[in-house]
Amino acid sequence: MSISTNDFKNGMALNLPEGLMTVVEFQHVKPGKGGAFVRTKLRNARTGAVIEKTFRADEKVGFAQIDKREMQFLYREGDEIVFMDNDTYDQLHVPQSSLGEAVNYMKEGDTVVLPMYNDEIIGVELPAAVELEVAETEPGVQGDRVSGARKSARLETGLVVQVPLFVETGERIKVDTRSGEYLTRA
């Protein structure tokens, strides 16, 4: 299935020779001389790399239908994560490697959106911030309240983040899923 470059929309998925890409932004340009063209910024759906590419106006490119499924994270099994489709209740075994850094922000019972292309999972859509429990951190020293001082904390998913000195083991904190940084106590 193909689509015209005149019909581009942000977030649209394209099947190009460079791979499966999503449109980050696009701009139609009509120069005084020569034909019109479309300047785009595209993100590789599998690797996250961003490239810039120019197309002729009304050029036909491959359109990719991305199916977004809401799934619940059931449990880890060896090197795989088992999800359950919230609509069909089918279980899906997904290698952790295909989920990238997202595995550090997911815990059992969480509901996530998995974008799929031809039955292949091409990423995970996480909320902007998640609540996780601090599994282990050294205790803060009383009176050691240097402004902005930080210490390492290992969370329940295994992720290690820098937290303020007052955060203790067993507390729940909010972590930004885009940067991996501590936001606030939950």
For the domain that residue 56 is a member of, what is the CATH number? 2.30.30.30
**Which pLDDT score, from 0 to 100, does residue 102 have?**
84
Q: Are residues 109 and 86 in the same domain?
A: yes
115-139 pLDDT, tens digit per residue, is 888 878 887 888 888 899 999 988 8
Q: How many domains does the chain have?
A: 3
What's the CATH code of the domain at 173? 2.40.50.140
pLDDT at 151 over 70: yes
For residue 55 the two structure tokens come to 């197309």
Q: Which of 41, 63, 85 is the last residue of a domain?
A: 63
Residues 9 and 49 in one domain: yes
**109 shares a domain with 75:** yes
Query: Which domain does 10 fall in, by range?
Result: 2-63
> Over the stretch 20-55, which tens digit does the pLDDT of each residue have?
898 999 999 999 888 999 999 998 887 778 999 999
Q: Are residues 141 and 115 in the same domain?
A: no
Residues 44 and 56 in one domain: yes
Tell which residue, 91, 83, 151, 149, has the closest CA to residue 111: 83
At which of 39, 63, 87 does a domain end? 63
Please state, in angstroms and rounded to a whole number, the distance separating the CA atoms of residues 102 and 94. 13
Domain boundary among 46, 63, 80: 63
What is the tens place of the pLDDT at every residue in 40-97?
Answer: 999 888 777 899 999 998 899 999 888 888 999 999 888 888 999 888 888 988 888 7
